[in-house]
């Protein structure tokens, strides 16, 4: 239902002119008053987002006019360079007007229908999760139905007020834009670019509902990895509890429940980190095996494998998070009162047994090597985590990024395996370590990583490595086309980006 009869009007010829001057693209962000020749932009609304938007527009060199029902009350909240006036006056001259009001207040703008005719309305609103499920049409489509003589563009709804104030360098720079009019999208895209953002064309206004759903998602790419990490933590925590707390209590009547808050968590974290790290590289091994078996790279992977491959970054970061927590918890271990009691008891036992010198050479070497390997593994994981940041990853070329994430990542897995083996040493062969007939925890954590390392070693064999390189460069088993690798096989591996 529109606010006025739909009239087929021709868009103003001013839309054919560039709205944004190129000199505004590299704005220094200052709030100096814009020149009279600067493009004029209107804002309807005086909330937090409208104030931040006005600040950003003024800092980008635009003439900003803000429309309010009570301009005298809110004029002090906006930059001095922005003009705050009544709504009817604010929409009279600008060709682009930001509608920064909630959906339920759209109808209050119907009195401006004649002044808004032929103008571009940029809808920046976001529905709540309940409103998104309640309404079939998006806020932007609803606004377009109220003002049929205007061109509605959905944009800037994924940008927070803080990002507008602090600048796009401190937040997500992408701005999804959708509209039924390509020219209107071009105008708003240039405006977003001038403000320091990266416009992303999302098609027609029918995509507005999808764009409005983006802020409602809470870390969608992290859901499965987080559930996986939590599931592993619960499993290993329960397993360690059964072995190290419940078994002594049942069999020996020893109360070790004090270990639950710190020692048990510290024992569980490295298990989770180690298994998660192996799960980062396992799907790559499965994908390579599938390509070797099929003899082509042009068939899709199964959906479960495809999703697994897409979540490797999140799984790797969670692995680093657990490893970092393990390092912090380990530093805290000597601070515990229980640790001090153990030291005193050990000293008393040494005195009672008349041992003047307690030194086991094997244990000393084992612990030194164990700690050194752990530090090296954590350092390598830290490098992987840092290069996962978009700002760092974008500064690397493909070969550098692949070297860090693939080669150094596998080195981190090998170091973690050596760290685990040094910790276990000969414990896997001692009968006393099998409590409740359960093997030591580290033996369970070694299963998946050892499979990954073994698979990697097999893929490095010349017969398999060369065939896999041919497949990833386009060769197919059932194809009649002859395919020859370059003479320098290492060069073929370095230049293959598939």
Residue 442 pLDDT exceeds 90: yes
Q: Are residues 245 and 336 in the same domain?
A: yes
What pLDDT sits at residue 10?
Answer: 36
Query: What is the tens place of the pLDDT at every residue in 85-143?
Result: 999 999 999 999 999 999 999 999 999 999 999 999 999 999 999 999 999 999 999 99
Q: Are residues 372 and 277 in the same domain?
A: yes
Q: Are residues 277 and 352 in the same domain?
A: yes
Q: Are residues 63 and 146 in the same domain?
A: yes
Give domain status of residue 338, yes or no.
yes
Domain with 362, as residue range(s), is 222-473
What is the domain-level CATH number for residue 117? 3.40.50.720
What is the domain-level CATH number for residue 311? 1.20.120
User: How many Cα atoms within 13 Å fall on the side-chain side of residue 297?
Assistant: 12
What pLDDT sits at residue 443?
Answer: 95
Give domain status of residue 416, yes or no.
yes
Q: Which of residues 188, 213, 238 is at a domain's end?
A: 213
Q: Are residues 91 and 150 in the same domain?
A: yes
Q: Are residues 179 and 254 in the same domain?
A: no
Q: How confident is the model at residue 59 (pLDDT cuts 50, 70, 90)?
A: very high
Those residues whose C-beta lies under 8 Å from the C-beta of residue 415, and which sit 6 or more positions away, are 373, 376, 377, 380
What pLDDT sits at residue 482?
Answer: 52
Give domain status of residue 29, yes or no.
no
Residue 204 pLDDT exceeds 70: yes
Give domain status of residue 401, yes or no.
yes
- Average the pLDDT over each of 41-50, 94-103, 360-369, 441-450 and give the range with the smallest value: 360-369
How many CB atoms are closer than 10 A to CB 255?
Answer: 9
Q: Which of residues 213, 242, 272 is at a domain's end?
A: 213
Mean pLDDT of 8-35: 40
Give domain status of residue 480, yes or no.
no
Give domain status of residue 111, yes or no.
yes
Mean pLDDT of 278-305: 95
Adjacent-strand bridge partners of 84? 66
Give domain status of residue 306, yes or no.
yes
Mean pLDDT of 170-198: 91
Q: Are residues 350 and 296 in the same domain?
A: yes
Distances (CA, A) of 378 to 7, 328, 375: 67, 12, 5
User: Domain total for the chain?
Assistant: 2
Q: Which of residues 177, 194, 213 is at a domain's end?
A: 213
Q: Are residues 238 and 193 in the same domain?
A: no
Residue 46 pLDDT exceeds 90: yes
Q: Are residues 198 and 228 in the same domain?
A: no
What are the structure tokens assigned to 314, written together? 């999140």
Give domain status of residue 485, yes or no.
no
Residue 247 pLDDT exceeds 90: yes
Adjacent-strand bridge partners of 66? 43, 84
Calculate Rg over the CA atoms of the chain: 31
Please state the length of the chain: 498
What pLDDT sits at residue 25?
Answer: 36
Q: Are residues 195 and 249 in the same domain?
A: no
Alpha-carbon 394 to chain mean position: 15
Instruction: Residue 314: name the closest of 279, 282, 288, 285 by CA.
Output: 279
What is the model's pTM? 0.76
Q: Are residues 338 and 202 in the same domain?
A: no
Q: Are residues 159 and 285 in the same domain?
A: no
């Amino acid at each position: 239902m529109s606010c006025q009869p739909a009239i087929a009007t021709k868009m103003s010829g001013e839309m054919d002119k560039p709205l944004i001057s190129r000199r505004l693209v590299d704005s220094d962000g200052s709030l100096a008053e814009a020149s009279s020749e600067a493009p004029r932009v209107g804002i309807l609304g005086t909330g937090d987002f409208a104030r931040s938007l006005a600040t950003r527009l003024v800092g980008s060199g635009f003439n900003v006019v803000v429309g309010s029902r009570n301009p005298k009350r809110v004029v002090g909240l906006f930059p001095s360079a922005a003009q705050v006036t009544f709504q009817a006056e604010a929409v009279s001259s600008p060709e682009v007007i930001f509608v920064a009001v909630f959906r339920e207040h759209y109808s209050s703008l119907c009195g401006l229908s004649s002044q808004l005719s032929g103008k571009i309305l940029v809808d920046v609103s976001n529905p709540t999760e309940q409103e998104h499920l309640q309404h079939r049409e998006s806020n932007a489509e609803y606004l377009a139905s109220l003002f049929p003589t205007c061109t509605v563009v959905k944009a800037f709804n994924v940008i927070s007020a803080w990002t507008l104030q602090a600048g796009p360098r401190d937040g997500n720079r992408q701005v999804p834009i959708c509209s039924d009019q390509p020219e209107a999208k071009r105008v708003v895209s240039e405006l977003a670019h001038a403000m320091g953002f990266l416009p992303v064309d999302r098609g027609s206004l029918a995509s507005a509902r999808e764009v409005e759903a983006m802020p409602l998602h809470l870390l969608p790419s992290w859901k499965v990895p987080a559930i996986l990490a939590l599931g592993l933590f619960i499993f290993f925590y329960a397993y360690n509890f059964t072995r190290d707390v419940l078994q002594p209590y049942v069999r020996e009547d020893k109360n070790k429940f004090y270990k639950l808050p710190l020692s048990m968590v510290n024992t569980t974290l490295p298990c989770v980190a180690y298994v998660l790290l192996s799960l980062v590289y396992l799907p790559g091994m499965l994908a390579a095996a599938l390509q070797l078996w099929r003899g082509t790279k042009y068939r899709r992977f199964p959906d479960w494998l495809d999703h697994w491959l897409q979540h490797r970054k999140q799984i790797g970061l969670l692995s680093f998070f657990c490893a970092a927590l393990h390092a912090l918890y380990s530093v805290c271990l000597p601070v515990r009162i229980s640790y001090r009691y153990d030291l005193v008891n050990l000293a008393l036992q040494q005195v009672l047994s008349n041992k003047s010198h307690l030194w086991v050479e094997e244990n000393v070497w084992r612990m030194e090597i164990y700690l050194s390997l752990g530090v090296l593994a954590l350092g390598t994981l830290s490098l992987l985590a840092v290069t996962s940041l978009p700002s760092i990853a974008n500064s690397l070329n493909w070969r550098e990024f692949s070297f860090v994430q693939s080669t150094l990542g596998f080195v981190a897995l090998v170091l973690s395996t050596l760290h685990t083996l040094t910790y276990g040493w000969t414990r896997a062969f001692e009968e006393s370590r099998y409590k409740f007939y359960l093997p030591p925890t580290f033996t369970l954590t070694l299963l998946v990583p050892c499979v990954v390392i073994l698979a990697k070693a097999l893929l490095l064999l010349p017969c398999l490595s060369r065939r896999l390189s041919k497949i990833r460069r386009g060769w197919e088993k059932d194809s009649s086309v002859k395919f020859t690798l370059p003479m320098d096989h290492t060069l073929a591996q370095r230049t293959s980006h598939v």
